[in-house]
Chain A
Amino acid sequence: MERDHRVEYDVFEVFIQKTQADHHVHVGSVVAPSPDVALTTARENFLRREKAVNLWVVPKEAIVATSYDIPGWFAREMDRKYREVGGYSENARLWKMYREKAMKLEDIVRDLNRKPGYADGVNRR
Chain B
Amino acid sequence: MITDQRHEQFMERIQRGEKIEATDWMPDEYRKLLLKLIHMHAVSEIMGAFPEKEWVPKAPTLKRKLAIMAKVQDEVGHGQLLLRVAEDLAAPLGKTREDLMEDLIEGRVKFHNVFHMESPTWADAGVIGWLVDGAAIINQAALLSTSYGPYARVLKRICAEESFHMQHGENIILALAGGSKEQRRMLQEAVNRWWESLIFFFGPVEVTDAARRMIDYRIRTKTNEELRQQFLKKYVPRIHSLGLTIPDPNLRYDEESEKWIFTEPDWKKFGEIVRYNQGPKSQERLKLRRFAHEDQRWVREAMVRSQKMQVV
Chain A interface (Cβ < 8 Å from any Cβ of B)? 5-9, 11, 27-31, 33-34, 37, 41, 44-46, 48-49, 67-69
Task: Return the CB mask of B277-295 against A: 1 if under 8 Å, else 0.
Answer: 0000000000000000000
B303 lies within 8 A of A33 (CB): yes
- In the complex, the answer to whether B24 meets A68 with C-beta atoms within 8 Å is yes
Q: Could you say which residues of chain B place their CB within 8 Å of the CB of A33?
A: 300, 303-304, 306-307
CA distance A67 to B23 in the complex (A): 9
Closest to A69 in B: B24
User: Across the interface, do A28 and B154 meet the contact criterion of CB distance under 8 Å?
Assistant: yes
Residues of B within 8 A of A29 (CB): 84
Pairs A–B under 8 Å by Cβ, sample size 20? A6-B96, A7-B300, A9-B300, A27-B157, A28-B81, A28-B153, A28-B154, A28-B157, A29-B84, A30-B80, A33-B304, A33-B306, A34-B303, A34-B306, A44-B73, A45-B77, A48-B70, A48-B161, A68-B21, A69-B24
Contacts of B303 in A (CB 8 A): 33-34, 37
A40 to B74, CA, bound (A): 16
Q: Which residues of A contact B31 (CB under 8 A)?
A: none
Q: How far apart are the CA atoms of A37 and B73 in the complex, in Å?
A: 18
A9 B304 Cβ-Cβ under 8 A: yes
Asked if B297 is at the interface (CB within 8 A of a chain A CB), the reply is: yes
**Which residue of the partner chain B has the closest CB to A32?**
B303
Chain B: minimal CB distance from A1 (Å): 15
Chain B residues in 8 Å Cβ range of A11: 84
B33 to nearest A CB, angstroms?
20
| Chain A neighbourhood of B310, CB < 8 A | 34
How far does the alpha carbon of A9 sit from the alpha carbon of B157 in the complex, in Å?
A: 23
Query: Do A7 and B73 have beta carbons less than 8 Å apart?
Result: no
Known: A5-B297, A28-B154, A33-B306. 10 other contacts (CB 8 A): A7-B300, A7-B301, A8-B97, A9-B304, A29-B84, A33-B304, A34-B306, A41-B80, A48-B161, A68-B23
Question: Given the complex of chains A and B, what is the CA–CA distance between A108 and B207 in angstroms?
Answer: 58
- Which residue, of B25, B70, B300, has the highest number of chain A Cβ atoms within 10 A? B300
| B206 within 8 A of partner (CB) | no
The residues of A that contact B256 with a CB separation of less than 8 Å are: none
A48 to B77, Cβ gap below 8 A? yes
Q: Are A6 and B153 touching (Cβ within 8 A)? A: no
Residue of B21, B97, B161, B307 near A31 (CB, 8 A) is B97
Provide the bound-state CA to CA distance between A11 and B25, in Å.
21
Chain B residues within an 8 Å CB radius of A45: 77, 80-81
A49-B301 Cα distance, complex, nearest whole Å: 30
Cβ of B258 within 8 Å of any chain A Cβ, yes or no, is no
Interface centre among B77, B306, B310 (most CB of A within 10 A): B77
Residues of chain B in range 266-282 having any CB-CB distance to chain A below 8 Å: none
With a cutoff of 8 Å between Cβ atoms, the chain B residues found around residue A41 in the complex are 80
- List B contacts of A46 (CB < 8 A): 157
Contact with A along B154-194 (1 / 0, CB 8 A): 10010001000000000000000000000000000000000
Establish whether residues A7 and B80, one from each chain, have CB atoms under 8 Å apart when the complex forms: no
Chain A residues whose C-beta falls within 8 Å of the C-beta of B87 in the assembled complex? 31
Say yes or no: is B28 at the interface (Cβ < 8 Å to chain A): no
Closest CB of chain B to A95's CB: distance in Å?
40
The CA-CA distance from A109 to B29 in the complex, in Å, is: 53
Contacts of A9 in B (CB 8 A): 97, 300, 304
Check B98 for interface membership: any CB of A closer than 8 A: yes
Q: Which residues of B are found within 8 Å of A30, using beta-carbon distances?
A: 80, 84
User: How far apart are the CA atoms of A5 and B102 in the complex, in Å?
Assistant: 12
The 7 closest A-B pairs by CB, nearest first: A33-B303, A34-B307, A7-B300, A33-B304, A6-B98, A68-B21, A33-B307
